[in-house]
């Protein structure tokens, strides 16, 4: 009986955690990625040469982005550059084409995160503390098919 109560509680909790999220897709010639992000965004697509970046911008200026990062730095480049430890890790990851997650606070106290998964980067910036959990969830739910 106790097992069933825990199972039901887990199901209800996980359903509630994704209730206000919507699926978004990122598609290029070489890969397809998808995740679930908070509702209420305006989608922008930035194409520059072979680079494709999707930006999901919210009214409070917080933003989630996905990019194939073939030549342009991520939107969090300045945040990474200002943190010497993150900058060092970023260069090592770039050289090894490895997975790396960097995060921190900007000079205004807003949260940022960048997760590099081989040739794909997903991240957020300008996020308030009360939104951080749901933005972290969006980053952790990313799935990639190559």
Q: What is the pLDDT of residues 51-87, one digit of tens each?
A: 788 999 999 999 999 988 654 556 666 666 665 455 4
Q: Where are the domains of the chain?
A: 21-145
51 burial type by CB count under 10 A (0-12 exposed, 13-18 middle, 19+ buried): middle
In what order do the strands lie in the sheet containing 100-105?
41-48, 51-58, 63-67, 120-127, 111-117, 100-105
Check whether 135 has a pLDDT greater than 80.
yes
- Regarding pTM above 0.85, the answer is no
Structure tokens that stand for 50 in this block = 């072979």
pLDDT value for 47: 84
Check whether 30 has a pLDDT greater than 70.
yes
Question: Which residue in this structure is represented by tokens 């430890």?
Answer: 85
Q: What is the pLDDT of residues 94-123, one digit of tens each?
A: 545 567 788 889 989 999 998 888 778 899
Class of domain 21-145: alpha beta
Give dist(CA 113, CA 61) in Å, integer.
Answer: 15
């Amino acid at each position: 009986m106790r097992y069933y109560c825990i199972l039901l509680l887990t199901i209800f909790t996980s359903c509630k955690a994704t209730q206000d999220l919507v699926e978004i897709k990122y598609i290029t010639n070489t890969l397809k990625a998808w995740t679930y992000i908070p509702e209420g965004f305006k989608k922008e697509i930035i194409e520059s040469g072979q680079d494709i970046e999707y930006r999901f911008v919210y009214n409070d200026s917080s933003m989630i982005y996905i990019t194939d990062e073939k030549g342009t730095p991520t939107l969090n480049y300045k945040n990474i550059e200002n943190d010497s430890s993150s900058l060092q890790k970023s260069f090592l990851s770039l050289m090894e084409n490895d997975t790396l997650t960097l995060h921190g606070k900007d000079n205004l106290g807003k949260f940022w995160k960048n997760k590099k998964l081989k040739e794909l980067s997903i991240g957020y910036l300008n996020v308030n503390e009360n939104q951080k959990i749901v933005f972290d969830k969006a980053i952790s739910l990313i799935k990639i098919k190559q």
